[in-house]
Structure 1
């Protein structure tokens, strides 16, 4: 069996529980066709670069899959039919990443620094202080 990373985007007006149900539905399709799903990450509601079917945001989800190509093809066929799925991408990989994905580690960094409040900044350059006219 081959290893895949699969990311899909779900509509913004769904609840996180409905997105989890979608993940479980597609996990069931893969397992029924002889595949296994490893790590599942929910990246949450994130803004889109451009509108997709009148949506400005979408729920992102990542699944690490170990399945035959027929199982992945069936899951993708079901996703094309489902109106709740905006986009999806399946990529074949040599090995699954250990630990959190790049998106999750980025979120951890943002939480550590409190978004923009506590993030270390470069020091400002001092302005040239020139005396006003008449002052010397």
Structure 2
């Protein structure tokens, strides 16, 4: 089955438990349609670059899935209809990276970052 990664932003006025409940809800949608949730991460409340529906912050969640395209389409459809979900991004990947995502790593643990050069 194809591998996908999803990021969604939920409204800021939800509690952390409600935002994590959305992850469980959408994982059951996947499993009901023949897919599975490989991994999920709750990134917490973050400030957005611009307002979405008069919200300046949102609960971010990251999902790694292994599911057929029909299950992904159904999950995305339900995400877009859900009142608490403001934005959804889904990409197809060749393989899932192991370990935590870059958002969950500490700054000093991140690999591949450029060193700042002196501007003199």
Q: TM-score, normalised by structure 1?
A: 0.78
Aligned-partner SS, 1:14: coil
**How far off its partner does 1:20 sit?**
1.0
Aligned positions of 1:30-109 closer than 5 A: 30-105=30-105, 108-109=106-107
CA distance in 2, matches of 1:39, 1:80: 21
Structure 2: which 5+ runs fail to align?
Answer: 110-120
Over residues 38-62 of structure 1, what are the superposed CA-to-partner deviations in whole Å (9 max), with x where a residue is unaligned?
1100110000000000000001000
Structural RMSD (CA): 1.8
CA distance in 1, matches of 2:19, 2:92: 23
Q: 1:3 aligns to what?
A: 3
Flag the structure with more relative contact order, 1 or 2, with Cα contacts below 8 A and sequence separation at least 6.
Answer: 2
**How far off its partner does 1:75 sit?**
0.4
Between Structure 1 and Structure 2, how many residues are aligned?
112
**How far off its partner does 1:109 sit?**
2.6
Structure 1: which 5+ runs fail to align?
Answer: 113-136
CA distance in 1, matches of 2:25, 2:96: 22
Aligned-partner SS, 1:102: coil
Query: Where has structure 1 moved over 4 Å in runs of 4 or more?
Result: none
Q: Does 1:15 align with 2:15?
A: yes
CA distance in 2, matches of 1:95, 1:41: 17
Q: TM-score, normalised by structure 2?
A: 0.88
